[in-house]
Amino acid sequence: MEWPAYLDEYEKLVIGMNTPKVVIDNAVCPAATLVKVDSASRKHGVLLEAIHVLTDLNLSVKKAYISSDGRWFMDVFHVTDQFGNKLTDDSVISYLEQSLDTGNPEINRSHRCEGLTALELTGTDRPGLLSEVFAVLADLQCDVVEVTVWTHNGRVACILFLKDQFSGSPLDDAQRIHRIESRLRHVLEGDHGVRSGKTAVTTMAVAHPDSRLHQLMLADRDYERGSSAPASSTFVSVQNWDERGYSVVNVQCCDRPKLLFDIVCTLTDMQYVVFHGTIDTDGDSAHQVRSFPQLLMIHDLG
């Protein structure tokens, strides 16, 4: 690694200690690839960043062990590809090694949405809603470059990346943006009072749309209407161990793609840090319903 000339030896030592070490091992486990990340500095969001990378590559986490001791942490993930195979593609392994090295934070930031306008929408879900949203944007001469949409409990959250249809430039005219928001808000309006349609053009970088959609759904309080999943299929318990300064969260439910990401993202949004945890799945077939027991020890950032 080449160091900038202005760094002294002490600064190089501190950076080296705080930069996560990434090890990817195909020899230890016969059924999965081990991805191990450890460092002397557990910064808020590092665990979520690691799970971001695994999720973006459509990798399945079969088991995981999360541990922090003081400021030192070690996360170990047993992962397979979407077909249940170990990782053998050198390009995927190289990408994992570089992206999980958060000592170089720009490596896992997507630049494909630079020069675009990010538009956030929340509202009441209904059939044909997206079609109407796209029709309004087309009428206002906006090109939709990328879109990510979530629906839950009758609510919808959406992030769209837009540019001008003719110039290809970001939308920076205040009157035009106001007109777009006004028309889309009308489309999104429902019969839920203050929880009707909301729109916002954001200037902040949206590094990971799924994380931002978690935040939008949490702000929209989509959880208040209850879950559509059968009550018998999900078990969640929280025990407060005040004498040890943390709470224990136990989750058991049917496994699905991105489940670990959703849980850790939710805890992160609620300002909790996971400092110990075990995650396991049970089931050999991709079509078999599997249990997903998780034991997570968390504490409040405040």
Nearest to 54 by CA among 71, 36, 67: 36
Q: Which two tokens stand for residue 194?
A: 């203050």
pLDDT score for 301:
59
- Percentages of the chain per state (helix, strand, coil), in multiples of 5: 30, 30, 35
pLDDT score for 158:
92
From first to last of its 302 residues, what are the pLDDT tens digits of the chain? 454 555 566 555 555 555 678 899 999 999 999 999 887 666 667 788 889 889 888 899 999 988 877 667 889 999 999 888 999 999 999 988 888 875 444 444 444 567 789 999 998 899 999 999 999 999 999 999 999 999 988 889 999 999 999 998 888 888 999 999 999 988 987 544 445 678 887 755 566 788 888 888 888 877 666 555 555 577 888 888 888 788 888 888 888 888 888 888 888 888 888 888 888 887 543 323 344 455 566 666 55
pLDDT score for 288:
32
pLDDT score for 14:
53
pLDDT score for 276:
86
Local structure of 252: helix, strand or coil: strand
pLDDT score for 231:
52
The residue extents of the domains of the chain are: 9-109+230-300, 117-206
pLDDT score for 255:
83
DSSP 205-251: --S-HHHHHHHHHHHHTGGGG--SS-GGG-EEEEEEEGGGTEEEEEE
Q: What is the pTM of this model?
A: 0.72
Structural domain 117-206, CATH architecture: 2-Layer Sandwich (3.30)
